[in-house]
Amino acid sequence: MMQINLKRILLLFGLIFSYVSIGSIVKEDFSWLLDENNSVSLEERLEEIDDDVKMNLTDRFVYKVDDNVIQISNKRLRVVSHAMQFVGNPYRAGGTSLTNGADCSGFTMTVFKDCGITIPRTSRTQAQGGNEIDISKVQPGDLLFYSRGKAINHVALYIGDGKVVHASTTRTGIKISRYDYREPIKAVTFID
């Protein structure tokens, strides 16, 4: 199957894309961009597309992680790609700095704020805000919540492919984990 590099598509549209290897667009989803004989380059084909169509293209991306094809809106892509660039940075209780240290809710609040979306500060108030969704319907950019006992005490950002990025502990900092490394009890979206 022929694949087109997602970073190349984003650069063609002049978008800033900081996460280097999020995946690739699958040919079947954008087959109208390519001709069967590859006699017209992707760049030449994109030059022929009206600006309105280009805007629709950038509104929703399809990317592939391993063998899973995932659709993601441009807004969700911005949130996920912004969050991913801070993996490896430190955890700090009460912190909201993506570079110098954040706790779980400080991390999600600041990632969303940097993407133009205002959400509450603590994991409990974040769980009460936004629109509750079924955990089985979670999409990249949605928040998953975890508890000890009955009280919510942790939040993570779903990034797709069954994974979350979160400010975990002082030992591990901001990292990627499977979404079910603990059992999530609630999912909320702040993205339309």
DSSP states of 132-165: EE-GGG--TT-EEEEEETTEEEEEEEEEETTEEE
Output 53 or 174, whichever has higher pLDDT.
174
Instruction: State if pTM tops 0.75.
Output: no
How far apart, in Å, are the Cα atoms of 118 and each of 12, 69, 110, 130, 154? 30, 29, 9, 10, 18
pLDDT at residue 73, as a whole number: 83
Considering 7-11, 50-54, 59-63, 121-125, the range whose residues carry the highest mean pLDDT is 121-125
**How confident is residue 40, by pLDDT bands cut at 50, 70 and 90?**
low
Mean pLDDT of 17-27: 33
Residues forming the active site = 104, 154, 166
Output 4 or 51, whichever has higher pLDDT.
51
Note the helical H segments in the chain. 6-12, 42-47, 51-59, 74-84, 104-114, 123-128
What is 86-189's CATH number, 3.40.190.10, 3.40.50.2300, 3.90.1720.10, 3.40.50.150? 3.90.1720.10
pLDDT at residue 192, as a whole number: 83
| Partners of 62 in the β-ladder | 71
Q: Check: CB of residue 19 under 8 Å from CB of residue 85.
A: yes
pLDDT at residue 166, as a whole number: 98
Residue 64 reports pLDDT greater than 60: no
pLDDT at residue 70, as a whole number: 55
For the chain, domain boundaries:
3-65, 86-189
Residue 49 reports pLDDT greater than 80: no
Residue 124 reports pLDDT greater than 80: yes
Using one digit for the tens of pLDDT, what is the confidence trace for 88-101? 999 999 999 999 99
pLDDT at residue 71, as a whole number: 59
**How confident is residue 137, by pLDDT bands cut at 50, 70 and 90?**
very high
Residue 147 reports pLDDT greater than 60: yes
Using one digit for the tens of pLDDT, what is the confidence trace for 153-192? 999 999 999 999 999 999 999 999 999 999 999 999 999 8
Residue 11 reports pLDDT greater than 60: no
Tell me the C-alpha distance between 102 and 96, whole Å: 4
Residue with tokens 């079910």: 180
